[in-house]
Amino acid sequence: MRTPLSKQDIVTLKSLIAAGKLLVVPTDTVYGIAADPFSASAVDRLLTAKGRGRDFPSPVLVSSISQAAELVPEIPPLARAFMEKFWPGALTVVLPARKDLPLDLGVTGGTVAVRQPDQRDLLQLLQENGPLAVTSANLHGLPPAQTVPQAQEYFGNKVAEYLDAGRSQIGEPSTIVKVEEAEYSVLRSGAIPPRQLQLVAGKAAKQ
């Protein structure tokens, strides 16, 4: 399916997500493989397609800070500062997850990793559908796909629909930070360099 997406495209994609199917979607960083984060069977299908276990939980992409706020008990001031500075963009923020939500993303230790991507078509889908579990479109241990043909080589007919928006803008994964009250740690280096994080936080990451 080529982007930009029509209203009928959105209807079709929402029905596939509701049925527990997998999608490959464009993000600003690399292509991602997506599933319903509230469906354990859909997330299991996603992790199986990638060839990795539940000890590698999937992040959740959202359309806005307010949509992210629905997944967590609260957004600490430091986490909100990161979101306001870098969202939409290539920063994933790990926070405690709401215990009353049926999120089943793998072994998360009670957390959820959230990000608002800077990709118009995906943001439209997230706004219409709600959050999606989205992890990089690659087989475990191989480079993330930066084009739809590359993703198709990885997944073939395991994915119900491929959204093609051309080559990825950034081409490297997001930076992942975990925020605990006023402290933060970098779980994965990526497109947002440590210096930019430090400028926002007013301090270096916790080692």
pLDDT given at position 12: 97
Q: How far apart are CA 160 and CA 197, in angstroms?
A: 37
pLDDT value of position 145: 97
| Contact of 162 with 152, CB cutoff 8 Å | yes
pLDDT at position 104 is: 80
- Residues 74-90 have pLDDT tens digits of 999 999 999 999 999 99
pLDDT of residue 163: 97
Mean pLDDT of all residues belonging to the chain: 95
- Give the residue from 144, 99, 92, 139 showing the smallest Cα distance to 117: 92
Beta strands in 78-199 (DSSP E): 91-96, 111-115, 132-136, 161-162, 175-180, 183-188
pLDDT of residue 103: 86
Q: Please report which confidence band the pLDDT of residue 55 belongs to, taking 50, 70 and 90 as the band edges.
A: confident
Query: What's the rounded Cα separation, in Å, for the pair 64 and 83?
Result: 9
